[in-house]
Amino acid sequence: MVNKYTPIFVRLNLLKAILKYYRGKKNETRQFLDTAMQEMKKILVDDDKVAEVMSMGFSNTEAKLALRATFNNVDAAVEQIFKSNVLCAQINILVFKSIIFNLRKFTRIIKYNLLISSSSSISSKSFSLSLESVSDSSGLH
């Protein structure tokens, strides 16, 4: 039976085969390799189905990943690609909003620093004195 754990079992059997090979147990190595190959055949992506999904406008990579995840079910693969694309779009929107927020914040900081540096009435000495007076009046020592 094929399920979402089948690829893990393929890898596990390959690792067992490698271990048996290095221990000199060639018969057991062959058994694990045969088991891995049988399981791998169950999860291989059908090239005709890849072409079918690609004919709907999706890339080769999208088609193969979705078909592998849905065990060669074309309808489920297309649905998964759409869900994946919607999720990526939502993430991109959140990232974009975060960038805009940080740019606005950074712009305010720059404007404030430019205002302070361009003001002729505030010198660095008077600015430090004003900071000291704020700390003195706040009771922080």
How confident is the model at residue 28, as a pLDDT? Answer: 96
Domain extents in the chain:
1-44, 45-141
Report the distance separating Cα 126 and Cα 85, nearest Å: 56
Task: Provide the Cα torsion 66, 72, 75, 76; round to 10°.
Answer: -50
- Lowest mean per-residue pLDDT among 1-10, 42-51, 99-108, 113-122: 113-122
Radius of gyration of the CA atoms of the chain, in A: 31
Mean pLDDT, residues 60-89 taken together = 90
How confident is the model at residue 119, as a pLDDT? Answer: 66
Residue with tokens 């960038």: 99
> Tens digit of pLDDT for each residue in 22-72?
999 999 999 999 999 999 888 889 999 999 999 999 999 999 989 988 889
How confident is the model at residue 81, as a pLDDT? Answer: 92
**Per-residue confidence at 110, pLDDT binned at 50, 70, 90?**
confident
Closest CA to 49 of 68, 36, 28: 68
Mean pLDDT of all residues belonging to the chain? 83
Residue 18 exposure: Cα atoms within 13 Å on the Cβ side: 6
